[in-house]
Amino acid sequence: ITGINGEYELAVPSGSTLVFSSIGYSSQEIAASEAGDVAMRTDVTNLDEVVVTGLATSVKRSNLANSVESISSENLTGIPNQSTLDGSLSGKFLGADIRANSGAPGGGISMRLRGVTSIFGDKPPLFIVDGVYVDNSTTSLGNNIVSEAAGGGAPSTNQDDATNRIADIDPEDIESIEILKGASAAAIYGSRAAGGVVIITTKRGKSGKAQTSFSQTIGLRSPTKLLGLRDWDESEVQAIGGASAVTTFNNGGFRDYEAEVFDHVRVSRTSRLSVSGGDQKTDFFFGLTVKDEPGLVKNTGYAKESVRLNVGHKFNDWIDIYVTNNYINSQTDKGFFNNGNQNRTVGYALAFTYPWQDLSPVNGVYPAAPAGSNVLETNAVTTNREEVNRYIGGLTTNVKLLTRDDNQLKLVLQGGVDQFTLRTTSIFPGTISYFRPASSLGGAAISGSTVNKNYNMTASLVHSYFLDNGLSFTTQAGYFLQNFDKNTVITTATGLNGSQTNLGQSANVGVQQIITPQEDQGLSLKHI
């Protein structure tokens, strides 16, 4: 690794040959006595490109059994700035189906590699960030009791307005991404990698003076295109709405509720501060990102603060250590969208809302819509919020046990922890129009709590043997331990007491708990 301006200094035995390599360029072998400024040549085929597979060693692309895509930091971020990592990946590589579960701010995005699908559940790829196996499972919010989105169908979390947790990772912190799309990735990572593997490497400092940068991105968000009102004629209005609707039509009183809900201009802000640097022994990278993105719809929005500190230190010629730390705090107000079988979510209710209807409140009371729900009321009085606190930390240590001219033996130790707390709050007051009848639920208050703790440890011995003709052999043997523990509790209260939304002030309370513990252990052996 050269300095920031490309300078380098090496102490090598007389007669040595230096190999210069960089991702995207062809490797060059130059005698040490002739080395100096080296001009790298672009590698069109990239067959010699070094690919990070997540193991203790890297592999040349030409020797890799998996189909791999690589994404650099330059291609991942830009203007407009994406809210989440999964959104930033959309359209960046082939063989992936990436789509939003809903249009809500910070909403979940489903990611499928190589056509892997499932009717009854999720088949997302395995995400590994700096050697840490991070959780990306979707978590039910419990809103199905109101939307009945999964009524009569598979109780998939995707139908319950759920989000996935890879959205917490800040794209601005990422240096590169390797995506292993082949099914053979499961041979390395086990059954969790059946849907592919996404290996994320975050930024680290480089030797040289400390570099500080600050950026402020301000953007305007507005709908790209709205459907608008259809071309009504008097006979159509008469047949559906009757005489009063015709009067409204003739007086030019039709209302475009789609525009009232979505046609707004919002100002989003992203502030980014980064500091990086290092010397011959220590390097560091600090990154701070603050996002504030109001949603187009009233009472929706996404806010996040992410802090990262990566530090590497070389103690001597035979041992070094690299530590990564990332803390994320986010809050999402998602509104009430996505699928529904009672026309209570905004998208479905709009399909049954006619422009001659007056849905505005009178003395603070919203009128009931003839079918489904009053979209203005839904946006004004319902709450659908997520709050996340998350820490992801990793450690990698390289210990050179043996170093000779023709062979080398090193011990690589890796460990990581991923811990987050997800709090969800959904409130549908008893005063909302579709809960006013005595036969209804009488309002619903839903409180969810998810505590997730993952940790993984790997110990690998790597032996490399070099022949005089330029061939080399690498053998790796290792042991790994992975522990996953996720505990979700969802409490649902119905029959709310007047304006009270406290769970204890309801007529009925139900509790659902889902515990998913898993521990994996294994041995690995690789020879190249």
Q: What is the pLDDT of residues 65-113, one digit of tens each?
A: 455 666 666 666 655 555 566 666 666 666 666 666 666 666 666 666 6
What does each C-alpha distance from 61 to 45, 70, 95, 424, 512 come to in angstroms?
10, 11, 18, 43, 47
Torsion of CA 168, 172, 175, 180, to 10 degrees: 40
Whose CA is closest to 137, among 163, 159, 155, 117? 163
Q: Is the pLDDT of residue 377 over 90?
A: yes
Q: What does DSSP assign to residue 237? A: H
Rg from Cα positions in the chain = 28
Q: What is the pLDDT of residues 437-448, one digit of tens each?
A: 989 999 999 999
Q: Is 244 helix (H, G, I), strand (E, B) or coil?
A: helix
- CA 210/CA 222 separation, integer angstroms: 39
**pLDDT tens for each residue of 476-489:** 888 989 999 999 99
For residue range 425-469, what is the model confidence (pLDDT) as tens digits?
999 999 999 999 989 999 999 999 999 999 999 999 999 888 887
pLDDT for 63:
45
In whole numbers, what is the pLDDT of the chain averaged over residues?
Answer: 83
| Residue-level pLDDT at 394 | 95
Tell me which of 294 and 150 has the higher pLDDT: 294
Question: How much is the pLDDT for 490?
Answer: 94
pLDDT digits (tens, 9 = 90+) for 223-250: 989 999 989 999 999 999 899 999 999 9
Query: Residue 50 has what pLDDT?
Result: 54
The set of residues, in sequence order, having a beta carbon less than 8 Å from that of 169 and lying 6+ positions away, is 84, 85, 129, 134, 200, 326, 328
Closest CA relative to residue 414, chosen from 384, 434, 433, 394:
394
User: In terms of pLDDT, which residue wins out, 62 or 403?
Assistant: 403
